[in-house]
A and B are shown apart, each in its own frame.
Chain A
C-alpha cells in the first residue's frame, strides 16, 4: 500500500483558549425558488468528529454541505466553521473547509497530473514542494499509471479517484464529502474508507453524505438523518442538534416567508 501523507490546516483557538465547534449552524435554511431545500437546521459538530449525513433524495444533504463549503449562501440562519463566521468571512473558510462534490470538476483536456498540479497550486503549494505531494496523491488513488493521460478518456470511477486526490493535496480542517463512494468499485470504496480513517486520525472533522447508510455509519461517530430539509434524527457522540424531530416550520411555511 502506498504511503499517504495527510495535510491539515492549523487549528484555530476560540476566545479564551476554548475550542470552537467545527461546524455550528443556527436555523440554517435555503430556498430554491419557492421550495425549501433546507428548512431550518440547528446543528453543532465537535472538532475531529466523523458525522454521517443520511436521508432520502431531496432531503437537503447536498445543500447543507454546499452551504458549509461556502459554495452557496443560506437564505436564513447563521453558520460558523471552526469559530469563523462563514457568511461574513467566507474567504477565511475556503481552504479550511474542503468540498468533494458530485461533479468531479476536472478539465477534460488536461492530464490527470496537470489537473492535480493545478489544484495544488490553487491550494497554495509552491512549484517545487507541490510536486511530491501530487505524485504521492496520484499513487494513493492508484492513478499513477495513467497520470499522463487526458481526463477525457477516464471512466467515472477514475474521475472520482482523481477528485479524491485533489482533496489529498488540500489542507483541510473540515471535509465535506458528498457521496464519496458513488461511482467507485469495491477497491475504490475501501480506499475512501481508509482515507476517511486517516483524515479522522489526523483530527479532521468530516461530514459525509451518503446513501450507503451502513457503510458510513460504521465509520462515523454520529449519524444525522435529514428529511424534507429538517433534522429527523441525531445519534452518537460529538453532535448536538437544536431541534430534532419536531418541525416548527414545515417546508411550505418557510417558503411562504419569502413571498
Chain B
C-alpha cells in the first residue's frame, strides 16, 4: 500500500513538472496546436468546397491532425528530459520505474486531451460538422484515444530519446503501432456523429479501452529497460 502511494506521488510529481514546463513554454505548445489546426485547414483545401464530402471526411481528418500534433507533443515531453541530461538523473532516482512511466504517460495523455479538445471545435467550424448533440461519445473517443496514444508515445519517445535521428524514428516506429487505435477512434467518431444507427459505437469504444489497457501494461513493463543505458 505504501509502495502504491509512493508510486502515485512520484507519477503525479513527474506529470506536474511536465505540465508546468508545457504551460510555461507556451510557444511550443501553441505552435503544435496551430500546426494541427493548419493541417485541418489544408485538408479542407485539398478536398475542395463540397460540404458533404468534407463532413464525410471530418472524423478521419480530425484524428490525423491529432496524430500529427501528438507526435510533436510526445517528442517534446521527452525533449525536456534530454535538454540538460535530466533523463539520466530521472533513471537514478530511487523510484519504481513504472511510476516514472505513469507520470510521463499521464502528462502526455493530458496534453493530447487538450489538443483533441481544441481541434474538435475547429473541425466543427471548418467542415461544418454539428458536434453539439454527440459531445459525450465524442469526448469518450477523444479521451480513450489520447490515453492510448500517450501510452504508446511515451514508451517510444523513451526508446528514441538517445537516438540521433529521433525526430524521424519516433513517427516511423510509432505510427504502425497506433494504426488500430486510429481505426477504432475514427470509427467511434463516425458512429458518434452519425447518431450510431448500427449500434457499433460501444464495440469501437471497447476496442479503444482494450488497446489502452494493453499498451499501458506493455509500456509500464518495458519503460524501465529503456531508462537503462
Is B9 on the interface with A (CB-CB < 8 A)?
Answer: yes
CB-defined contacts of B84 to chain A, threshold 8 Å:
103-108
In the complex the two chains form, what is the Cα distance from A127 to B89 in whole Å?
Answer: 21
Do B86 and A106 have beta carbons less than 8 Å apart? yes
- B80, B85, B86, B94: the one within 8 Å of A91 (CB): B94
Chain A's interface size range is 20 to 34
Q: How far is the CB of A249 from chain B (nearest CB, A)?
A: 23
Determine the residue in chain A with the shortest Cβ distance to B88: A71
Determine the residue in chain B with the shortest Cβ distance to A102: B85
B interface, over-half SS: helix
CB-defined contacts of B83 to chain A, threshold 8 Å:
108
Is A190 on the interface with B (CB-CB < 8 A)?
Answer: no
Is B45 on the interface with A (CB-CB < 8 A)?
Answer: no
CB-defined contacts of B94 to chain A, threshold 8 Å:
91, 94-96, 122-124
Q: How far is the CB of B153 from chain A (nearest CB, A)?
A: 20
In the complex the two chains form, what is the Cα distance from A180 to B224 in whole Å?
Answer: 29
Near B by CB (< 8 A), chain A positions 163-218 give: none
Q: Which of B9, B21, B94 has the most CB of A within 10 A?
A: B94
Q: How far is the CB of B169 from chain A (nearest CB, A)?
A: 20
Q: How far is the CB of A77 from chain B (nearest CB, A)?
A: 16
CB-defined contacts of A72 to chain B, threshold 8 Å:
229
- B9, B24, B92: the one within 8 Å of A99 (CB): B92
Query: Once A and B bind, how many residue pairs between them come within 8 Å at the CB atom?
Result: 73
In the complex the two chains form, what is the Cα distance from A72 to B88 in whole Å?
Answer: 9
Is B91 on the interface with A (CB-CB < 8 A)?
Answer: yes
Is A110 on the interface with B (CB-CB < 8 A)?
Answer: yes
Do B80 and A107 have beta carbons less than 8 Å apart? yes
Q: How far is the CB of B200 from chain A (nearest CB, A)?
A: 44
Determine the residue in chain B with the shortest Cβ distance to A106: B84
Do B88 and A105 have beta carbons less than 8 Å apart? yes
In the complex the two chains form, what is the Cα distance from A105 to B90 in whole Å?
Answer: 9
In the complex the two chains form, what is the Cα distance from A103 to B146 in whole Å?
Answer: 33
CB-defined contacts of B91 to chain A, threshold 8 Å:
71
Is B20 on the interface with A (CB-CB < 8 A)?
Answer: yes
In the complex the two chains form, what is the Cα distance from A28 to B165 in whole Å?
Answer: 32
Do B95 and A122 have beta carbons less than 8 Å apart? yes
CB-defined contacts of B17 to chain A, threshold 8 Å:
107, 110, 114, 118
Is B197 on the interface with A (CB-CB < 8 A)?
Answer: no
CB-defined contacts of A35 to chain B, threshold 8 Å:
none
Q: How far is the CB of B215 from chain A (nearest CB, A)?
A: 24
Beyond A107-B86, A122-B95, 17 additional pairs, beta carbon < 8 A:
A73-B228, A95-B94, A96-B94, A103-B84, A103-B86, A105-B84, A107-B17, A107-B80, A108-B84, A109-B20, A109-B24, A119-B93, A122-B10, A122-B93, A123-B93, A124-B6, A124-B94
